[in-house]
Amino acid sequence: MPCSGESLTEVKAGGASSRHPAPMQTALLPPHQAMAMSLDAVAEAGVDIVPVYFERFFAQQPADSAMFHNRAASQGAMVGEMLTMLLAQAAGEEWVPMMMRAQVATHWDHGPIALERYRNALDLLVDVLAETAGALWLPEYEAAWRGQVKRMFALIARVY
């Protein structure tokens, strides 16, 4: 979030006006702050990203639909866990590698999951965030999220 004394720029998106930091200000932010600010841009769209994410996820991996027994809980949990892990990693939280190791082990219970599918799932999440935010999605947000996806996938590959 902008610090006191920072100026804000009015951004028009979908006919609605919102207060949003000027791009030059976001270029100076650490990745975890840029990522948090990007979620404000996503929230302004007023769209639940979970159904959007899973519509596209199941279009790519139709057989995976059977793995989600309690969709209302498991789908929201999966998106929430991905967001939490990426944000925590960007903030330098020390628990992320241990938790990712546990997540990969847990996913083996569903059968063999090709390593690249983890990357695809993370990339899809960023795609959905960016598309949902629309004109409010800044290049700095894209760079921060994609950088953390790259780091997360490298971590997954090490524990896979």
Positive/negative CA dihedral, 133, 32, 108, 112: positive
Residue 111 DSSP one-character state: -
Distance between CA atoms of residues 32 and 129, nearest Å: 15
Structural domains present in the chain: 30-159 (1.10.490.10)
Q: What percentage of the chain's residues is helix, strand, coil (to nearest 5)?
A: 70, 10, 20
pLDDT of 106-135, one tens digit each? 887 777 888 999 999 999 999 999 999 999
Positive/negative CA dihedral, 85, 57, 125, 152: positive
pLDDT of 144-159, one tens digit each? 999 999 999 999 999 9
Residue 7 pLDDT exceeds 50: no
